[in-house]
A and B are shown apart, each in its own frame.
Chain A
Amino acid sequence: MSFAVRMKGITKHFGAVAALNNVDLEVAPGTIHAIVGENGAGKTTLMRVLYGALHPDSGTLEVEGNPVRFTSSREAIEAGVGMVSQHYGIIPAISCLQNLILGAEGGTLLNLKSAAERAQELADHMGFQFDWLKDAETLSPAGAQKLEILKLLWRKARIMILDEPTAMLSPADSAALFESLDRLAAEGATIILVTHRLPEVLDHCSRVTVLRGGVRVDERLVSETNGQQLAELIVGGSVAKHTPREAPIEAPVSLEIKGLTVKGSRGDMALKGIDLKVRHGEMLGIAGVDGSGQRELFHTLVGLIKAAEGSVILNDQDLLAKSPSERIEDGVRIIAEDRHEEAVIEDWSLDENASLGLQRLAPFANGPWVDSAKRHEKAGEIALRFKTKHGGLNLPMASLSGGNQQRFVAARALCLNPKLILAFQPARGLDLKGTQDVYDGIRAACAEGAAAIVVSFDLDELLEQCDRLAAMNGGRLAEPDAAHARDRTAIGRLMVGVG
């Protein structure tokens, strides 16, 4: 049997850590092949090797029967391999057409007219709509994803790697995407799908490779496996079914948001009258597709953007009248979305990072002075809380892996008497154990009377962990009625603004 892709014995180290250990992958042409595994299992690393963006320490690579050795993505593209990365490769400042042809312009001089014609043909074939001359920054996440697929077709890619393509798409957009993928596979394209969503695998793929900790643990025909079995392979052991939380909490209201309206960056309304109550001890999960207004809500509560209308009362205090630092003094704690950019200073030591955000509060500060001794003590506690693996508190934050940074950041947010915990994807980059630890930590703080708002794009995670769920769509927040409070389908409908 001939393979579209054949990788044998791929090993790749990052420093001392083996991201891939002797991994094999064989993909049949004209099929959709899934690669599944937890965060950090090595899925993306393996794909980056195939795409020529990373060079393996050892192992061989065959594309359509020819042994290849890519030294750059350019060579992979020439061999017919294309990849859509997890973070979209669309450059917002240039037009859709320019994005489409970038890297495959077909000559020194651009013929934009004929390029636009060919682009339109491709789009028509896939049933996509584009305004080619508009800047790509106007694209929705779904539009950007479609443009990415056209980019692969423009490059005549025969092997297409899609890394978590539906992570930021609504269920309807995801369905449309898979329709296109099925069609492409039927026309002979080979598609490798990296995902953590098992339903996608079961519904659309023919084979599935499971990675765990950089090792290929199994490869199966999808028709010969099921969700439960795959889940067990992924985590390496049986998965306990989650237990829903018990009866609703009756404590007094801690946070009350009324009619909160916020302007978006392009003059539109990012939040359109949010009403929300969170009680003491309650962990509220906000589900939604990325870009539905979660970020604006979060930033408004932190104090980074101003509200146009509405009120936010936290424990009888007018939150909106306060500066971000006053809010921190009132007990607002933040687990920010992007830890590199928003939560840590990578050049600084763990010790120095321990007080970031809490720097004015005792015991980190003593009046205007920094209390280094107490800070060091506290940094040790923070590192210990969720078992952050580190080589010393005096080493720079950059020496920690992403997951360990996340543990540190989460523990820091919980370490000093939190009253309102704002967590944006708090389990980002964590394994199942770490995820559970962090949520347990937030729950413990809630048990002491704090209120928590958790934003996540993973509905299942929220269903499993939170006391109560709401969904955001287009700047509005909706809560399911009591009968469907934990109904996955009902909340899924709210996420897309139906029901």
Chain B
Amino acid sequence: MIWRVVALISGALAILAGALLSAHVGPMEAIRTLLHGSLGSPAAIGGTLRETSPLLIAGLAVFIALRAGLFNIGVEGQLLCGAASCTYVALKIPNVAGMLLGILVGMLAGALWALPAGLIKAYRNGHEVITTIMLNNVALYLTSALVSGPLKEKGQQDTTTATVADATRLPWIYNHPPVQVNIALIVGVLAAFALAIWLKKTVAGYQLQAAGANPTAAKFAGISTARTTLLAMTVSGAIGGLAGAMQVLAYEGRFYDGFSPGYGFDALGVALLAGSNPLGVLPSSLLFGILAKGGIALQIDGVPKGITTVVLGFLILIAAVVRYRKVNTVA
């Protein structure tokens, strides 16, 4: 078994090195650029943490569904719905009230967007992978239509909303530009710990994971798998919505067409790499943050950013081979 893992890792490294060399970039040099660009300076670290923040929360969203045996590919859509609705509320209601209400509404929107997938899975046994992919596309078009129509700021050239007032936005906990750390990151870390406790220490968490690990045995153990599916999906959606709301209130300050560069999809990788403990999402999202930030540095050096996505793809495969042999998923 070990040699197989070694073979896979070597194969992946060979492909990556081959790609870099064919583009006339030394692999070691590329790694150095990547690390320097993501961790080499306070500004770089600040940027990395900013990239990590949404991936951490969205990663938790995917993670909780995964523990219940569900592949929530729809976090992307839930995040968009959460972000758009939070922006709407935060623009209407000023100050802390708007902030808190915006977060709440964002989570609600995310949960609602996940609900159809949960219902269809629970009562019609329709694949959540398919429904969430479909819901993603609908969310993309819906939010795009909203931001180019009713939510669009008057007189703006771009399809964007107005900017949320500073008083309504999330505060920085460390604010010495170029290094800034937002409270959103702390919220993510706390959420990871809360989730860990909930899964490990409560009966509800036990039941959710039982349903994910063996749905038939769970039924015999008096656990309603339909209800567990609904619970996991809505909680997952709410956290996805939270990720969107946080992104608006902490960093972006507005919603616009093309708001998410694929946070929801990266979050899948984050959750898969995390293993079976929610605290694993912390290092795993940081790794993704490093690759995202370092990728920008690579791009400046003439290496297309896509290479980091390839790295992530291989990482997911390798992680799956090493320890995630089987997740109960569709069918």
Contact = CB atoms under 8 A, between A and B. Distances in A.
Given A347-B213, A370-B201, A359 B206 contact: yes
B32 interface: no
Nearest to A339: B217
Contacts of A368: 202-204
A231 to B, nearest CB: 35
A355 interface: yes
A174 B154 CA distance: 83
Contact of A345 (B200, B203, B217, B222): B217
B96 interface: no
B207 A359 contact: yes
A341 B221 CA distance: 12
A37 B204 CA distance: 45
Q: Of A356, A357, A365, which is in contact with the most chain B CB atoms at under 10 Å from its CB?
A: A356
Contacts of B219: 304, 324
A9 B200 CA distance: 50
B222 to A, nearest CB: 3
B220 A345 contact: no
A296 to B, nearest CB: 15
A344 interface: yes
Interface string B216-256: 11011111100000000000000000000000000000000
Given A345-B210, A345-B213, A348-B213, A369 B220 contact: no
A326 B223 CA distance: 10
Contacts of B221: 328, 356-357, 359
Contact of B222 (A323, A348, A365): A323
A99 B160 CA distance: 61
A345 B206 contact: no
Interface in A313-350: 323-328, 334, 336, 341-348
B220 A360 contact: no
Interface string A340-380: 01111111100010011101100001001110100000000
Contacts of B217: 336, 341-345, 356
B231 to A, nearest CB: 14
Nearest to A328: B222
Contacts of B206: 352, 355, 359, 370
A302 interface: yes
Interface in B178-233: 200-207, 210, 213-214, 216-217, 219-224
A370 B200 contact: yes
A336 B210 CA distance: 16
Q: Of B201, B217, B224, which is in contact with the most chain A CB atoms at under 10 Å from its CB?
A: B217
Nearest to B214: A345
A345 B216 CA distance: 10
Contacts of A327: 222
A342 B225 CA distance: 13
A369 B221 CA distance: 17
Contacts of A326: 222
A38 to B, nearest CB: 27
A414 to B, nearest CB: 16
27 contacts: A304-B220, A323-B224, A324-B219, A324-B220, A324-B224, A325-B223, A326-B222, A327-B222, A334-B220, A341-B214, A341-B216, A341-B217, A342-B217, A344-B214, A345-B213, A345-B214, A346-B214, A348-B213, A356-B217, A357-B222, A359-B203, A359-B210, A368-B204, A369-B201, A370-B200, A370-B203, A372-B201
Interface of A: 302-304, 323-328, 334, 336, 341-348, 352, 355-357, 359-360, 365, 368-370, 372
Interface of B: 200-207, 210, 213-214, 216-217, 219-224
Given A356-B221, A359-B206, A368-B203, 14 more contacts: A302-B220, A326-B222, A342-B216, A344-B214, A345-B210, A345-B214, A345-B217, A346-B214, A355-B206, A356-B210, A356-B217, A360-B222, A368-B202, A372-B201
